[in-house]
Amino acid sequence: MTGHDEPDPNRPGAAPAMRADAKRNRERILAAARDVFAEQGIDAPLTDVARRAGVGIATLYRRFPAREELIDAVFVEKMSVYADAVDTALTEPDPWVGFCWYVERICQMQAADHGFTAVVTAMFPGAPALEAQRKRAFRGSAILIARAKKAGKLRPDFSDRDLPMLLMAHAGIIEATGNAVPELGHRFIAYMLEAFRAGQPASPGLPRPPRATELFAVMEAAGACATKPTPR
229/95: higher pLDDT: 95
For 55-92, write each residue's pLDDT tens digit: 999 999 999 999 999 999 999 999 999 999 999 999 99
Pseudo-torsion of CA 32, 37, 40, 45, nearest 10°?
70
What's the confidence (pLDDT) of residue 5?
56
| Residue 182, pLDDT above cutoff 80 | no
Helix 95-112 and helix 162-177: axis angle, to 10°? 30
Mean pLDDT (the chain) is: 85
For residue 33, count other CB atoms closer than 10 A to its CB. 27
What's the confidence (pLDDT) of residue 210?
76
For 136-161, write each residue's pLDDT tens digit: 999 999 999 999 999 999 999 999 98
* pTM reported for the whole predicted model: 0.78
CATH class of the domain defined by 76-226? mainly alpha
What's the confidence (pLDDT) of residue 103?
96
| Residue 232, pLDDT above cutoff 50 | no
11/145: higher pLDDT: 145
What's the confidence (pLDDT) of residue 145?
97
**Which of 2-16, 61-75, 201-215 has the weakest average pLDDT?**
2-16
* Residue 1 pLDDT level (bands cut at 50, 70, 90): very low
Cα separation, 9 vs 19, whole angstroms: 9
Cα separation, 220 vs 214, whole angstroms: 10
| Residue % of the chain over a pLDDT of 70 | 87
For 167-180, write each residue's pLDDT tens digit: 989 988 888 887 67
| Residue 124, pLDDT above cutoff 70 | yes
Task: Please choose, from the candidates 69, 68, 74, 140, the residue with its C-alpha nearest in 3D space to the C-alpha of residue 105.
Answer: 140
Find how far residue 99's CA is from the centre of its chain. 19
Q: What is the CATH number of domain 15-63?
A: 1.10.10
What's the confidence (pLDDT) of residue 8?
52
What's the confidence (pLDDT) of residue 34?
94
227/74: higher pLDDT: 74
* Residue 201 pLDDT level (bands cut at 50, 70, 90): low
* Residue 102 pLDDT level (bands cut at 50, 70, 90): very high
> What does the domain layout of the chain look like in residue ranges?
15-63, 76-226
